[in-house]
Structure 1
Amino acid sequence: MTDADDLAEWIGRKDSAEEVLSHRLATRYHMTFERPGDPPAPGAAAPRLIHWCLAQPVAPMSALGEDGHPALGTFLPPVPLPRRMWAGGEVTFHGDLRVGDRVCRTSRIADIARKEGRSGTLWFVTVAHEITVAGQTRVTERQDLVYRAAGGAGGAAPAAAPPGKHRRRVEPSSTLLFRYSAMTFNGHRIHYDRDHAVRSEGYDGLVVHGPMQAALLLMFAGDLAGRAPDRLSFRGMSPLTDTGGAFHLNAAQVEDGRQALWTARDGGPEAMRAEAGWAEGARAVLR
């Protein structure tokens, strides 16, 4: 049986790539999420978390796994379980990316661990990312990946989530899911191939991307506060699919420069739980 010591040599492994944050990408992002006003012009600050659309790994078709992800054993370690999910993470913004910037992503395997849960063995891989422009750090990030066995997507759903003080309705259409997959160059078939999502991975429909839920929550928090958050932590709590229609972004009252956020369908459990934070001095704009 493989254990974490067998994969220890992968810790510290790095990968990097560069890409220009084009006006075309900024426009696609703006229009996909139907943001108010005009898309950011060249030189203007781009939406936070747009870096998830930049400098993504690109593998040839022959190097993809059955689920559409690049096969393990190149940058990500060859853990012995097939089903990969972005379970959560934490992002800190040190400054804005601007339209026209040449953005560099440097990624490093920070930790690998095997754990036993109620649903069996799980593998956790932690990846640290740094996003820079001309050598200056603009974003630092911890990304938590979890791998599970093939088959069902999980056990019984938890209790229904309460409504937030503030709410916003989102319709998870297959077109929205496809456009986000395209912008982020994410080939994971659970987001656009319904047959694969249901028959191979055990979901009841197309899966709403965890990162997209996090991005929507960050935008919601920024709209409520009048300023985009400087930090966002998030964790996937239960799968959210397009079956059942709309879901809601929920936000609590801001306290001490922090705001609790979550996604849920009416009568359903929390899907994504997040916390937004603002740097010292930003509290005056929060309401």
Structure 2
Amino acid sequence: MSEDFSGWVGKQEQAADRLEPARSNALRAALGHPAPLDAGAVLPPLHHWLYFWNVQPPAALGADGHPAKGGFLPPVPLPRRMWAGGRLEFVRPLHLGEAVSRTSTILSVEAKSGRSGDLIFVTVRHEIAGESGPAVIEEQDLVYRGAAAPGSIKAPSPHTPAITAAAHEVIAPDSVLLFRYSALTMNGHRIHYDRPYAMDEEAYPGLVVHGPLQATLLADLAARQGRTLKTFRFRGMSPAFDGTPLHVCGDYRDDGADVWTQQGETRCMEASATFG
């Protein structure tokens, strides 16, 4: 692509919020963990994504329901966008009820070509601090793609081979769960709740399961042994869709865990964690 987005590298944005327990507890309830956490409890892994809402008026939204490109993020002309992966370092725990701040910086904008055509990757670094100082250092990889041809994205097979992972649970990613996660994260991307848009405009075979939701499930599984996460790295492999069971799987090591989501025979997301 001929567009030059180098001028966006280094751009920063500031945000502040308070980790109100109600929002984290609402996600816990949506995932089947109804016992509420009180103010002062440690924020569960990756629940910081429920905060720092970017609420825009209708005129400032793109056709896909996201905030229009060209604000903080560069005005990439490719129509499809998604969260491809990320890397997190947990410096110290955050606590429910705590006041937090976030500094976001665009680290890079890179154009590439793949089998599916032109791609643009935008990497954003977030530094989140609580009342005791820096708490989470995160890099997010966003990918922009061209339009998909109708029928080019296949639904996963409903048949899942035997899974021998040490930890394994099954989630039903129905439209209600996807809507609730979209609402709790103020994610207006229509591929997660607007079926006609997802299928007719972006050629998906159904509603798309959020990458951050899958990552949250994986981080929770990794920490299930009562260990504190030190680092967490995840990468999207293939889209996951509603209507097909989502298998959340993991194997543990002495110093961490390897975890993944799967629909049918397709791995949707892979991640690795280390313990502090």
Partner Cα distance (2:180, 2:231) in 1: 25
Checking the alignment, whether the CA contact within 8 Å between 2:153 and 2:203 is kept in structure 1 is no
Give the equivalent residue in structure 1 for 2:242: 242
1:75-117 deviations in Å (ceiling 9; x for gaps): 0011121111000001111111111111111111000000010
Instruction: Using the TM superposition, give the Cα deviation of residue 51 of structure 1 relative to its aligned residue in structure 2, in angstroms.
Output: 0.8
Map 1:59-74 → 2, pairs under 5 A = 59-74=56-71
Give the equivalent residue in structure 1 for 2:200: 199
Checking the alignment, whether the CA contact within 8 Å between 1:221 and 1:228 is kept in structure 2 is no
AA paired with 1:187?
G
Partner Cα distance (2:161, 2:118) in 1: 27
Partner Cα distance (1:25, 1:235) in 2: 26
Partner Cα distance (1:161, 1:95) in 2: 39
1:123-168 deviations in Å (ceiling 9; x for gaps): 0000000111136111010000000012248667999887223210
TM-score (norm 1): 0.89
Question: 150-159 vs 45-54, which deviates more?
Answer: 150-159
Give the equivalent residue in structure 1 for 2:262: 264
AA paired with 1:234?
F
1:229 aligned onto 2:233: no
Give the equivalent residue in structure 2 for 1:126: 123
Cα pair distance change 1:91/1:97, threshold 3 Å: same
Partner Cα distance (1:187, 1:275) in 2: 28
AA paired with 1:242?
D
Checking the alignment, whether the CA contact within 8 Å between 2:129 and 2:135 is kept in structure 1 is yes
Map 1:127-142 → 2, pairs under 5 A = 127-134=124-131, 136-142=133-139
Instruction: Using the TM superposition, give the Cα deviation of residue 258 of structure 1 relative to its aligned residue in structure 2, in angstroms.
Output: 2.4
Instruction: Using the TM superposition, give the Cα deviation of residue 27 of structure 1 relative to its aligned residue in structure 2, in angstroms.
Output: 1.9
Secondary structure, aligned partner of 2:107: strand
Question: 146-155 vs 267-276, which deviates more?
Answer: 146-155
1:145 aligned onto 2:146: no
Instruction: Using the TM superposition, give the Cα deviation of residue 191 of structure 1 relative to its aligned residue in structure 2, in angstroms.
Output: 0.4
Partner Cα distance (1:143, 1:218) in 2: 16
Partner Cα distance (1:97, 1:80) in 2: 37
Partner Cα distance (1:158, 1:40) in 2: 36
Give the equivalent residue in structure 2 for 1:39: 36
Partner Cα distance (1:161, 1:145) in 2: 31
AA paired with 2:92?
G
Map 1:50-129 → 2, pairs under 5 A = 50-129=47-126
Instruction: Using the TM superposition, give the Cα deviation of residue 209 of structure 1 relative to its aligned residue in structure 2, in angstroms.
Output: 0.4
Partner Cα distance (1:169, 1:124) in 2: 31
Counting matched residue pairs gives 272
Secondary structure, aligned partner of 1:58: coil
Partner Cα distance (2:205, 2:231) in 1: 32
Question: 203-212 vs 40-49, which deviates more?
Answer: 40-49
Map 1:205-216 → 2, pairs under 5 A = 205-216=206-217
RMSD: 2.0
Instruction: Using the TM superposition, give the Cα deviation of residue 35 of structure 1 relative to its aligned residue in structure 2, in angstroms.
Output: 2.4
Partner Cα distance (1:70, 1:62) in 2: 9
Question: 10-19 vs 228-237, which deviates more?
Answer: 228-237
AA paired with 1:240?
A
Checking the alignment, whether the CA contact within 8 Å between 1:161 and 1:264 is kept in structure 2 is no
Partner Cα distance (2:75, 2:132) in 1: 31
Give the equivalent residue in structure 2 for 1:2: 2
Checking the alignment, whether the CA contact within 8 Å between 1:87 and 1:235 is kept in structure 2 is yes
Instruction: Using the TM superposition, give the Cα deviation of residue 270 of structure 1 relative to its aligned residue in structure 2, in angstroms.
Output: 0.3
1:231-268 deviations in Å (ceiling 9; x for gaps): 1100000010013x21210112x234121111012x32
TM-score (norm 2): 0.93
Secondary structure, aligned partner of 1:142: strand
Partner Cα distance (1:268, 1:196) in 2: 26
